[in-house]
Amino acid sequence: MKTLLLPTLILLLIPRISHAESWDCEVFPSEREVVTDPTSGAKLTLITGNSAEDLNLYFHQRSWLADGSLLIFRTQRGGASEIFGYLEATGELVRLQRPGQAIAGDPCAGRRDSRIYVIHDQAAYSWKPEIKIGSGDKPSTVRIEETLIGKLPERAASSLGLNDNSDGTALVSGFTLRGSNGSEIVLMNKADGAVKTLAAFEVVVTHLQASWEDPDLVLFAHGGRVSDRAKDVQAGEVAARMYLVDSSGKAPWPIYPQLDGELVTHECWWTENRVLFCSGINRDGHEEEAHVKEIDLDTGIARIIGAGCWWPTGTPAEVSKYNWWHCAGSPCGRFAAADNWHGDIGIFSGKTARARILTQNHRTYGHGAHPHVGWNKEGSKVVFTSTRRGNPDVCVAELPESWLREGW
């Protein structure tokens, strides 16, 4: 693993300023369509209906504000990617960013506060939405109050992700380096904007996400020789996609060394210091086995909680119907969700590993956006991208009440 060990941790103290700017957001009429899923009876709400591409945030970034009032997504309806919001109370859509404003990478909803965190103009900012729900013919109003948190180092080029940490005191960020193929992971203190470098690399790392339990622990996908599937692993070699790093000065360390040919992909933190990921051994071209697994970081024990399936005579389309590609755990710890190449959403019990299909056919194999299923704070709803209507739309599925009552 090519990691540049820094002789000292770098601290950049940035003086705080008060609110940088505020603006009134443009609010649009509701586009939502509510249907009942024929597979599970779940309530499905397609919150967008525009002909442009609408995509939910990646599950690392969290789509819902902590109070559940607003769901954040990205849209191309203005000709370029913009950050929009969906008001749960009315279905109205909101352009959250200023027209023409360039946001670097994806935003992130706060884990403990109802704020949105973004990067633009080489700095991290907090957006605090003030929402007033309309009544009758009067539309709702949304105003954003933007506060500068801190500036990124001048060496920062493109953003590699943004996430707030477990106690809400800092942001985890990453960026590529100007003039090189390297990258860095940093921790930015929300109180004073101080930037602490956790690690620097000669390669690009991805999927940065803060631990749900430890405020300075970060999970990331290493961008070296092992991307998803380990290849040509030699005896005694540690080959791993998933790594951890913290602020102790210790070199980043792997959490799940892979066997030769073993798949590991699309990792996500879960409760009780666990990490979910998709993994399998068997493969023949595009026919690929992928279980939903969890690894307990306290014990190092990994287990399957959502079984995939592989057989040598299956076609790629057939095999992918029974395997998983992205997975995410509910913040309450009760459930895990996963999607596949056909746009099916499975729900797995964290207690028994029993599985149920929530909804199906939100993607055609080989075509359409990936669902990238994520959770609300309560663990009662999932959000994903659906191309069931032939166009990428953001969809919310509510777990049936009976599923929430039962112990599975």
Q: Quick check: 94 pLDDT over 60?
A: yes
User: Closest Cα to residue 208, out of 145, 160, 150, 137?
Assistant: 160
**Predicted pLDDT of residue 227:** 76
Please, what's the b/e burial string for 293-308 (b: 16 or more CB within 10 A of its CB; e: otherwise)? bbbebeeeebeebbbb
**Predicted pLDDT of residue 202:** 93
- Give how far Cα 101 sits from Cα of 91, 115, 145, 258, Å: 24, 18, 15, 42
Q: Quick check: 63 pLDDT over 50?
A: yes
Domains of the chain with bracketed CATH: 22-405 (2.130.10.10)
- Give how far Cα 93 sits from Cα of 25, 44, 216, Å: 10, 17, 35
Mean pLDDT of the chain: 93
- Give how far Cα 141 sits from Cα of 131, 314, 400, Å: 6, 53, 32
Least confident of 12-26, 31-45, 61-75, 253-267: 12-26
If you search the block for the tokens 């992918």, which residue do you land on?
320
Sequence-distant (≥ 6) Cβ neighbours of residue 138 within 8 angstroms: none
Q: What's the pLDDT tens digit per position in 287-332? A: 899 999 999 999 999 999 999 999 999 999 999 999 999 999 999 9
Rounded Cα distance, 166 and 304, in Å: 26
Q: What is the mean pLDDT of residues 87-94?
A: 98
Least confident of 117-121, 363-367, 397-401: 363-367
Q: Quick check: 51 pLDDT over 60?
A: yes
Sequence-distant (≥ 6) Cβ neighbours of residue 373 within 8 angstroms: 59, 326, 327, 328, 337, 338, 339, 345, 382, 383, 384
Q: Quick check: 215 pLDDT over 60?
A: yes
Q: What's the pLDDT tens digit per position in 244-281? A: 999 999 999 999 999 999 999 999 999 999 999 999 99
Q: What is the mean pLDDT of residues 369-378?
A: 96
Rounded Cα distance, 302 and 304, in Å: 7
Residue 159, CB-side half-sphere exposure with 13 Å CA sphere: 21
Contact 205, 220 (CB under 8 A): yes
